[in-house]
Each structure stands twice: as C-alpha cells, then as structure tokens.
Amino acid sequence: MRYLVVSDIHSNLEALEQVLETAQGLYDRVVCLGDLVGYGPDPNAVVEKVRQISSVVIRGNHDKACCGITNAVDFNPLARLATLWTRQQLNPDHLDYLRQLPEGPGSYDGFKMVHGSVANEDEYVVDLEHAFKDAPENTASVTFFGHTHLQGGFILTPQGAGKVIENAVAPGTGKGRLAIRPDSRYLINPGSVGQPRDRDWRAAFAIYDNHEQCVEYYRTAYDLPKTQEKMLQAGLPAPLISRLELGR
Ligand code: ZN
C-alpha cells in the first residue's frame, strides 16, 4: 500500500490541491497528521476536501483551537487572530467534525501517526535529543509527525545512534527517497502542505510505501499569489501573508 502523508495544511486550498495533483497516481490512501485549519483563507473548503479524501485524520493544536476545544491563549497574537477568524468562518458541520477528531498517536497499518510527539500531541520535536526520548514505549518502526512544519525527521539505528534526516528533498529538486531499514526506527515529518517553515515555500508532502519500505519526500510549487490575495481580501494579518513566500 502507498500512503500519501499530509500535515499542517492550514486552510491553504491551493497548496492542498497542488499536492493532490502532483501525487496523482502515486498513492492508494491519504492520511493526515492534523492542523487542517488556522492561518489560511479557506478553512471550509480544506476541511471539506480532507473529509472526502482522507482515510485517517488526527487532530492538531490549531484544529483544537479553531473548534473551541482550547482557546488559543498560548498562541502568539497573530495566530490567535487567525484562529478567531477561522472559528467564525467554519460552518457548524465542519466545527463538529474538527471537535470529534481523535488525539494522536494513531496506529494504522503498522505505522504510527502523531501531530507533535508520541508522548504529547502539542510537543515540538525539533532536535535529536528529544526525538527518541520516548522510544522504548514507541515500538513502531515508522512514526509520522508534523507540528514543526520542517520536512525531514530523525533515524535511530540499532546501535542507538541518532541521525537527523538532512535535505529530505535534494536542493534544486522536488523529490528525495529514504529507504526504511527493518532494524532502525524512524520519525518522519512529511513537512507542511500549507505553511512550510524550512525556508522552502513550496508545499511539502511524503509518500510511504510499506511494501517497498521507503519514504519519498516531495516539494511542489503552488499558486501562492492566489492564496495571498485571498488572505488579503479576508483581512488576515500581513505577516501571515508574507511569511508564506519566505517559507518560514
Ligand atoms: Zn501546524
């Protein structure tokens, strides 16, 4: 089975549609690691799309805040503004859908899915030191995570040595491949569809092939000016509009 793994879409419809177009014919099922909404201009259309295409979805911190499970007090002021705007936009059915999304970790077909970390859905896993601290309880060979908006992840070898996955997509290309060894553990971040923060503005995603045992990382250029124009029209904060083209 080939899984299209998407995360951190953040109401960016153009980015999501481009990902689905680029990945067309390359996958059997879609799984989503959360943060469908927040920041971007199209919360309803993105929720609608994810509901249509995705087999398994777990919730992210922005999903929780936008549907009122949490109240965004720990968000920065711009993120909070976008959260309140999103909450007003979402129709009641989509609000209900977001409220019932399960908390990670989700287990699916031999792999795990979390938004933040295995131990805590809101935790940012940004370095090797923290990546495998809960490894003894996490027996899954492959765990997908999001939340940081940084494509790549971490490998733990049988000798206990850790490794950061650098340049998941080789510079100047839109694709990279990682072979999954049965004796190692993997924390894989597909990157963010709708708001990348690794200085590459292109939409990010990954495809996991559990038969071939490999992960393919992708970047794909989408209609960024269209998304930015919609954000401008919606009155969303200017720094949230400009950060998209900087990829941070
Ligand atoms: Zn996010």
pLDDT bracket for residue 137 (50, 70, 90): low
pLDDT given for residue 132 in this prediction: 86
**Separation between Cα atoms, residue 167 and residue 180, nearest integer Å:** 16
CA of 15 to the centre of ligand 1 (A): 14
CA of 61 to the centre of ligand 1 (A): 7
Ranking 22-26, 105-109, 219-223 by mean pLDDT, the lowest is 105-109
CA of 149 to the centre of ligand 1 (A): 6
DSSP letter, residue 104? S
Predicted confidence (pLDDT) at residue 139 exceeds the cutoff of 80: no
CA of 164 to the centre of ligand 1 (A): 21
In 3D, which of 64, 48, 73, 183 has the Cα closest to residue 116? 64
Distances (CA, A) of 21 to 36, 75, 227: 18, 32, 17
CA of 115 to the centre of ligand 1 (A): 8
Q: What is the pTM of this model?
A: 0.96
134 touches 112 (CB < 8 A): no
CA of 62 to the centre of ligand 1 (A): 7
Q: Taking ligand 1, which is a single-atom ion, which protein residues have CB atoms under 5 Å away?
A: 8, 35
Mean pLDDT score of the chain, rounded to an integer? 95
**Separation between Cα atoms, residue 174 and residue 169, nearest integer Å:** 6
pLDDT given for residue 55 in this prediction: 84
CA of 14 to the centre of ligand 1 (A): 17
pLDDT digits (tens, 9 = 90+) for 13-56: 999 999 999 999 999 999 999 999 999 999 999 999 999 999 89
Residue 217 CB neighbours (<10 A): 27
